[in-house]
Chain A
Amino acid sequence: MNVLYFAWVRERIGVPRENIETSAATVNDLVAELRAREERYAVAFADTSALRVAIDQELTEFDAPLAGAKEVAFFPPMTGG
């Protein structure tokens, strides 16, 4: 699964994207796996209420299932306009 990071999430994790082998059932499960990996993930995902997530480029919730997902992106609340 392609996992993408934007803005300060990207800066904290240190890469813009990576390919992750996971059997996580939901976004929350994936976040828990990542947090357990290394400190930089734990720091980036310390507070998921300060984050947004998109599955296959559609905004969704952290309890959303990952079945069939090709791309998951994590980023802070958007600041367009």
Chain B
Amino acid sequence: MRVVVQDAPFDFGHEAQAFARGHTSMGAIVTFTGVVRDTNEAPLEAMEIEHYPGMTEAALTDIAEQAISRWSLGNALVIHRHGRLVPGEMIMMVATAARHRKDAFEAAEFLMDYLKSRAPFWKREITSQGASWVAARDEDEAALERW
């Protein structure tokens, strides 16, 4: 299991390859990547991601450990960036490795649902019209109930 919180960009291809390597008993690798999108009425200039150093790493580790204990996983990876990102940049990725795809898919969805609402990150969108904090969505909180 590996949890990384960093401001620097990461190389998705390299990370996915490195994660997949060395799991010869694993038949399924699932990866998810979140990208800064520009869907605002005013064009998005940047997204600033604030985090809570110390608690962020602990919360992500706890979430990854829960995934490993609930599903039959060979490994799990969570990378999440903070700082200033521009549209098109990758914010984060999760990866899961399991013998079978169901465990890998479900655990990846669980990781995503939990880190959206339980990992201490806050997004602020910067546009030509000004800056605003991204509000949490009720659907994201409700998504936790299925687990």
Chain B residues 82 to 116 lying within 8 A of chain A, measured CB to CB, are 91-92, 112, 115-116
**Given contacts A57-B55, A76-B136, are A6 and B120 in contact (CB under 8 A)?**
yes
Interface residues on B, range: 20 to 34
Q: From B94, which residue of chain A is reached at the shortest CB distance?
A: A81
**Please, how many angstroms separate the alpha-carbon atoms of A51 and B88 in the complex?**
30
Interface residues on A, range: 10 to 19
Query: Is B43 among interface residues, defined by CB-CB distance under 8 A?
Result: no
Is B116 a contact partner of A76 (Cβ separation < 8 A)? no
Chain B residues 49 to 88 lying within 8 A of chain A, measured CB to CB, are 50, 52, 54-55, 58-59, 80
Chain B residues 110 to 128 lying within 8 A of chain A, measured CB to CB, are 112, 115-124
Is B133 a contact partner of A6 (Cβ separation < 8 A)? no
Q: Which residues of A contact B141 (CB under 8 A)?
A: 77
Query: Is B135 among interface residues, defined by CB-CB distance under 8 A?
Result: yes
Q: Which residues of B contact A7 (CB under 8 A)?
A: 50, 122, 124, 133
Q: Which of B122, B123, B133, B136 has the most CB of A within 10 A?
A: B122
